[in-house]
Amino acid sequence: MHDSSDGFRRYQSNIPGSEQNIWAPFASRMDWEVARWAKMRGTGSTAFSELLEIDGVNEALGLSYRNSNDLNKIIDHEIPIERPAFTRSEVVIAGESFDLYKRDILQCIRALYGSPDHVKYLCTVPERHYTDADKTCRMYHDIHTGKWWWDTQVALERRKPGATVIPIIISSDKTQVTLFRNKSAYPVYLTIGNLPKEIRRKPSQQGQILLGYLPTTKLDHIKNKASHRRTMANLFHACLSHLLAPIKKAGVDGVAMQSGDGVTHRCHPILAAYVADYSEQVLVTYTYSGYSVSCECPKDELGDYPCPGPYRDFSVAVEAMKKVGTDDWIESCRVTNLKPVQHPFWKDLPYTDIFRSITPDILHQLYQGVMKHLISWITDICGKEEVDARVRRLPLNHGIRNFHKGISTLSRVTGAEHKQICSLLLGIIIDTPSLTSQQSRNLMAATRSLLNFLNLACYPIHTDDSLLSLEEALSDFHQKKPIFISLGACEHFNFLKLHFLCHYVRAIKCYGTSNNYNTEMTKRLHIDFAKDAYRASNHKDEYVQMTKWLERREKILHHSKYIDWRCSQEQLASIHSDSHSCENLAVGQRYNFPGSQRTLTDLRCPYQQKITKYPSVKTITISKLEDCGPRGYHAIKFHSALTRFSAQFRHPDLSRREVDEMSQFISLPFMAVPVWHQVKFVNLELHGDTTLDVLKAHPRKMNSHNQITQSSQFDAALIQTRLNNPENGYLDGLRVGRVRVIFSLPSKSLDRLFPSNISPPSHLAYIEWFTPFTCYPDSSSGLHHIKRHTMSDGTPSVSVVPVDMIKQSVHLYPKWGGAVPSEWTCENILDSCSDFYLNPFRDIRTYCNLL
């Protein structure tokens, strides 16, 4: 049995003097910490050298280096190499040579697979997961739960038993590294499916590695456009062929690789997925622009459902490519609807079907594609002014962006902004004034179907049942989509980004959920591996400097993890404990860690509350809480609600009438209470200390010049009023209430308000109630309809409840009732409007609970 200590010990054996000095090759902790800061957080090398040249600085810190060059020599020559160095190669196309900066792909895979920091997460075998004991409903999350790995494993075992598949995920995307000089970089990234997606998508975990920089030449000397496009494609594939050449033989015969726990496997690195946007997908697959890269759907039928064309046949495409240079080559490529380009990089890769390897792209296909179209259609139907007026007035809530100028004036809208708009979209079209009731219902139904697809597609875990819901959502949209044509918002639906949604279910079953291969990861990597690297250079012969800068950073990151391990060993030794840094794990066993979701129930995870030790405001008078001014809390019945709570808490068996009578004789022994302005929600088991939700209750904040610095926000929340029956759904036993005040009772007065044998809750909340949920959602919108609950005198129905009854905050859509009244604002809309709908699209967890 092995653990990650083996890998770190092998690393340590290459550092002279490390037995006596855990900071080696640095002299001391200060020496190491300054070096790490300089390479990870510090300014440029010149500024760092100038800092160390100040008289006394070097001596005061006790550093073993006097400038950046000295530090670089230590990193280059005394810290062991864990990831391969970059080399420069020349690629010759059309008689011209181009520089390709690359790494040995097998050594890159060894580094990822053999990292001691990854050993507790590593997966070496495919698995079939089920939701039931009878194994009738499959479950999909990481790549090892998909069908591709299982099928590939079976194919390898037939030929050579005992194989360990290394699913290779390649991504490439040209990116700008400057704002004004039009300078770009073309990085190619590599990761392996043996690592869970939670590790791969965090740059700090080093689950991705930069495989190379492709040439960014524009080939301006080629004037013919067709020749230019063909040469660019040939250059791309020639470079990828150089990068991936070693895995052709290794994928078939296998190669010995050692994981971080010291276990050696015969590994077969095989290209599983290629992550790219559409322009890159066209370049990779040799398809013509405007056509599907996965199937042979005709161009004028892209908007049809189900997909009318068969999937592309990889074997037919390879046979056509093999005829290069013959008379039949052009005709064979034409028949397969592929460009006649020479030597695609994927032609000889084992167990690879490039057309199946093209994966869904949530960022570009949905947020920047279909949803962008949907937002445009809705804006055309409802009118820019009305849409902006509604967006500005939607209630504030955690995770909901307030577009205070509307959305029609936004330019260069990012994927994150489209994601925010999507959470508001259904609320924007409620009671559209220019539509008939039937048109409004049809528009709501079509929009809801597409939003259902979006949210289901983003699930971090799927089952056969949820994939059926995903397919039904797409089918439902295609049935309802004519409303957009009839209202003049669009003329047809023959565009590729909508078409590719037909292939999502197949891709998820093959490779796991969409967050295994989303291009959002690639965009994030551009910052570390391209933009920051370029800024660290002097912009002359930059790739030599960029690659060296990256190598040094990677060394520092890995050495930092080694230092952490050494420190943990010292602590364990000091308390005479086991010297291992983690429990021994069986080969292939997955270690439980925050974020590793394994069932759909995890998406419905209960929250735990986090309230600060000290209040936001130490004391606020009850009169200030009951004040209805712009800086008051509007808790108009605070005194009576608190006395009712006191009576009911002391005598829980009393009837409502008896509680009312008793509360009239209770006098509060204080005039002020400490108040908190927010409650945070976490789930430590699944998500660690990450804040998942925040409930806020605070008045408007002003500066010394009487200017508003923060709008008032009193969130609505789901409050548990009785025990939940899971068979009746998530909302059973829950009710929406608006939180006006979060407070506690002064400790000095508790003995005068409660008997000594009764301990009241530590934190309380003043709630304004909405009506209970009905049995079924509203038929036209599919949303749960609620109203502000008022008493016979028109005042709100209120209560004081323990804060732990609050389960989460919620966002509400107003029922506009036509054109938006001008006096409504995002601050007062929960007071001004009487009818609301519960927003299920605020985030994935809320959607999963309310589905």
What is the DSSP pairing of strand 264-275 with strand 164-172? parallel
Residue position matching structure tokens 């002014």: 385
Phi, psi at 71, each rounded to 5°? -65, -40
Dihedral angle at the C-alpha atoms of 679, 684, 689, 693, nearest 10 degrees? -40
Predicted local confidence at residue 594, as pLDDT: 43
Predicted local confidence at residue 724, as pLDDT: 84
Tell me the CA end-to-end span of the chain in Å, nearest whole number.
45
Number of other CB atoms surrounding residue 225 within 10 Å: 8
Cis, bond preceding 306 (omega within 30 deg of 0): yes
Q: How far apart (Å, rounded) are the C-alpha atoms in residues 495 and 368?
A: 13
Query: Which stretches does DSSP call E strand in 120-275?
Result: 129-130, 138-140, 164-172, 175-176, 184-185, 187-192, 209-213, 255-258, 264-275
* Diameter of the chain measured on Cα atoms: 102
Instruction: Judge contact between 283 and 367, C-beta under 8 A.
Output: no
Residue position matching structure tokens 């190379």: 212
In 3-state terms, the chain is what percent helix, strand and coil (to 5)?
40, 15, 40
pTM for the whole structure: 0.93
DSSP string for residues in 329-360:
HHHHHHHTTB---S--TTTT-TT--HHHHB--
Phi, psi at 241, each rounded to 5°? -60, -40
Structure tokens at 722: 């009785």
Q: How far apart (Å, rounded) are the C-alpha atoms in residues 490 and 481?
A: 10
Q: How far apart (Å, rounded) are the C-alpha atoms in residues 369 and 375?
A: 10
Cis, bond preceding 25 (omega within 30 deg of 0): yes
Q: How far apart (Å, rounded) are the C-alpha atoms in residues 264 and 114?
A: 10
Residue position matching structure tokens 């660019």: 232
CA 225 to each of CA 94, 331, 630: distance values in angstroms, whole numbers, following the listed order: 15, 21, 64
Spatial neighbors of 748 by CB under 8 A, at least 6 apart, are none
CA 315 to chain centre: 36
Q: How far apart (Å, rounded) are the C-alpha atoms in residues 734 and 720?
A: 4
Instruction: Judge contact between 680 and 696, C-beta under 8 A.
Output: no
Q: How far apart (Å, rounded) are the C-alpha atoms in residues 663 and 235?
A: 83
Closest CA to 717 of 678, 745, 761, 760: 678
Predicted local confidence at residue 582, as pLDDT: 42
Predicted local confidence at residue 593, as pLDDT: 45
Structure tokens at 523: 């965009």
Predicted local confidence at residue 575, as pLDDT: 60
Q: List per-block mean pLDDT (blocks of 10 residues) for the chain, which spans 851 residues.
A: 75 92 96 95 88 94 95 96 95 86 98 92 93 93 96 96 97 90 91 94 91 92 87 93 97 96 95 97 95 95 94 93 84 89 91 97 97 97 96 96 93 94 96 93 96 96 96 97 96 96 98 93 89 91 95 95 90 57 42 51 83 96 94 95 93 90 91 97 87 96 88 96 85 96 93 87 97 88 93 94 96 95 95 96 90 77
Instruction: Judge contact between 98 and 91, C-beta under 8 A.
Output: yes
Helix (H, G, I), strand (E, B) or coil at 177: coil
Q: How far apart (Å, rounded) are the C-alpha atoms in residues 114 and 103?
A: 17
Closest CA to 450 of 512, 396, 372, 357: 372
What is the DSSP pairing of strand 678-682 with strand 693-698? antiparallel
Instruction: Judge contact between 838 and 736, C-beta under 8 A.
Output: yes
**Enclosing H/E stretch for 206:** none
The residues that bridge with 267 in the sheet, in sequence order, are 164, 255
Q: How far apart (Å, rounded) are the C-alpha atoms in residues 294 and 300?
A: 16
The residues that bridge with 100 in the sheet, in sequence order, are 89
